[in-house]
Structure 1
Amino acid sequence: MKFGLYGLHRDRNVDPGVLARRARLAEEAGFESLWVGDHIALPAGEGNPPRLEAMVALSYLAAVTSRVRLGVGLIVLPQRQPVLLTKQLTSLDVLSGGRLTVAVGAGYVEPELNAMGVTLAERGARTEEYLAAMRALWKADPSFAGRFVSFSGVVQHPSPVQRPHPPILVGGHSAAAYRRAVRHGSGWYGWGLDVEQTEQALQALAETARREGRPADLGELEITLTPPGLPGPDTVRRYADVGVTRLIIELEGIDDDAVDGVIASVGQTASR
């Protein structure tokens, strides 16, 4: 089991000194990866904590660490301009020495999507098309024609360190998300599911793969999950038994004074 840490882009961690210290602590403790989320403008009046923009936060994390992998998930793909996003992700992969993992989703916060010029109804179609456009750029195809994005006679350099591109995980618990993961993802990312719910989701993914077919070049689907709360050793084993290969521990809900201790203790488990 690989262990990731989610949440160093928000709350007190927006302070650059705290962010750098905790990122290095997690790296030294044995975490496999550090993850940041992607919300740009959330509804007012809901007590949302301060949070850093995902690409900027990952750039900082790349500079203050040297070994731990860096993940963004879930990036709300339809509210990002895919040509620019591809360049940003490639740059992060290059500057981190090939340590980037990308998890994408279609999003669900309608006011946020609307603020970025996207309707809830078209989020799925945009997600599918943007993935295709990004792959075209990573393959150095000079042209792409779609409903939402088109380009002709352009390429991007340099290429990512990880070829043909950083690993792409697809998140979500809907039938459409399962199809997207099977067709396009090197992995699937689930959020907030207990062991029984995870097992049900993985059964749905397997059935989708049997029905839809999975491209041979994508290999076996890697399963990443953020569990509810802090799982104990027995629960970790149960997640592993149903097929989870990476658990990403979320910091939300943990008292800030206890965060360093949690990082150290989970890191000890990760290092075993």
Structure 2
Amino acid sequence: MKFGLYGLHRDRNVAPDVLARRAALAEQSGFESLWVGDHIALPPGEGNPPRLEALIALTYLAAVTSRIRLGVGLIVLPQRQPVLLAKQLTSLDVLSGGRLTVAVGAGYVEPELHAMGVALSERGARTDEYLAAMHALWTAEPAFTGRFASYAGVVQHPSPVQSPHPPILVGGHSRAAYRRAARTANGWYGWGLDPDETAQAQRTLAEATRTEQRPAALGELEITLTPTGLPDLDTARRYADTGVDRLIIELEGVPDDRVDDLITTIGETLIGRL
């Protein structure tokens, strides 16, 4: 099993020296990947800590690391302009030497979507269309026509290091998200599920894969999950037994003075033991 670390884009980690130090520590401790989330503007109140913009944070992480993979998840796809986003993700993949993984979702925070000019009712349709538009750009198709995004007579260079594009994961627990993952993605990203709930999600994904007639070129769905809290070795084994390929450990709620010790502890007690 692979282990990722989520959360170096927010709270105290927004300080450049802290971000760089903890990224290096995670790389040294054997983590497979570093993950940042994507919110651009959230309603005021508690539970809204300082956070860096996801793609800028990943660009910085690419510069201060050399081996560890870099993931954005979930990027709220309908509130991004897909032609620009395709270029940004390609640039990240090139500058990181092909270390990028992209997890996308449809979003759920209505004030944030509204602030970015997106109606909540359109988020699913935009997500599907933007994925198709980006794939067209990554495969050098010079035109794309859709309801929300269109272009003609343009291509993008360079191409991503990973061909034809960085791995794409689809996140979410709705039937639409499962179908989207089965139809278009390299993997699925779940959040906050225990092992039994994860097993049920796997069964629903398998059903969606059959219904959507998943393209053979995509291969098997890679399963990524962020559990609640820090799993011990036995719990991590239960996730592995359900077919989870990657566990991403979240830093939210961990006191700042314990984060470095937590990174080291995960390296010593979980990584390499499954």
TM-score by length of 1: 0.99
Q: Write the distance in 1 (CA, Å) between the matches of 2:249 and 2:46.
A: 23
Does the 8 A contact of 1:40 with 1:53 survive in 2? Answer: yes
Cα deviation for residue 28 of structure 1 reads 0.4
Q: Write the distance in 2 (CA, Å) between the matches of 1:247 and 1:30.
A: 13
In structure 2, the residue matched to 1:6 is 6
In structure 1, the residue matched to 2:147 is 147
Q: Write the distance in 2 (CA, Å) between the matches of 1:97 and 1:270.
A: 24
Q: Write the distance in 2 (CA, Å) between the matches of 1:235 and 1:23.
A: 25
Q: Which ranges of 4 or more aligned residues in structure 1 deviate by more than 6 Å?
A: none
Does the 8 A contact of 1:31 with 1:271 survive in 2? Answer: no
% identity of equivalent residues: 78
In structure 2, the residue matched to 1:166 is 166
Query: What secondary structure, in the 3-state scheme, does the structure 1 residue paired with 2:189 have?
Result: strand
Structure 1 residue identity aligned to 2:103:
A
The CA RMSD measured in Å over matched residues stands at: 0.6
Does the 8 A contact of 1:29 with 1:271 survive in 2? Answer: no
- The question of 1:69 aligning with 2:69 is answered yes
Query: What secondary structure, in the 3-state scheme, does the structure 1 residue paired with 2:271 have?
Result: helix
- The question of 1:206 aligning with 2:212 is answered no
Gaps of 5+ in 2: none
In structure 1, the residue matched to 2:97 is 97
Q: Write the distance in 2 (CA, Å) between the matches of 1:270 and 1:11.
A: 25
Q: Write the distance in 2 (CA, Å) between the matches of 1:201 and 1:47.
A: 28
In structure 1, the residue matched to 2:138 is 138
Structure 2 residue identity aligned to 1:38:
D
Q: Write the distance in 2 (CA, Å) between the matches of 1:47 and 1:174.
A: 24
Gaps of 5+ in 1: none
Cα deviation for residue 47 of structure 1 reads 3.7
Q: Write the distance in 1 (CA, Å) between the matches of 2:145 and 2:5.
A: 38
Q: Write the distance in 2 (CA, Å) between the matches of 1:47 and 1:210.
A: 39
In structure 2, the residue matched to 1:176 is 176
In structure 1, the residue matched to 2:40 is 40
Cα deviation for residue 46 of structure 1 reads 3.3
Cα deviation for residue 44 of structure 1 reads 1.2
- The question of 1:233 aligning with 2:230 is answered no
Cα deviation for residue 212 of structure 1 reads 1.8
Offset from partner CA, 1:223-258 (integer Å, 9 cap, x none):
000000000000000000011010000000111111
In structure 1, the residue matched to 2:59 is 59
Q: Write the distance in 2 (CA, Å) between the matches of 1:85 and 1:207.
A: 31
Q: Write the distance in 2 (CA, Å) between the matches of 1:18 and 1:206.
A: 41
In structure 1, the residue matched to 2:126 is 126
Does the 8 A contact of 1:38 with 1:75 survive in 2? Answer: yes
Q: Write the distance in 1 (CA, Å) between the matches of 2:233 and 2:8.
A: 24
In structure 2, the residue matched to 1:271 is 272
Offset from partner CA, 1:35-93 (integer Å, 9 cap, x none):
00000000112341000000100000000000000000000000000000000000000
In structure 2, the residue matched to 1:27 is 27
Q: Greater shift after overlay, 96-105 or 193-202?
A: 193-202
Q: Write the distance in 2 (CA, Å) between the matches of 1:158 and 1:211.
A: 36
Q: Greater shift after overlay, 210-219 or 20-29?
A: 210-219
Cα deviation for residue 210 of structure 1 reads 1.5
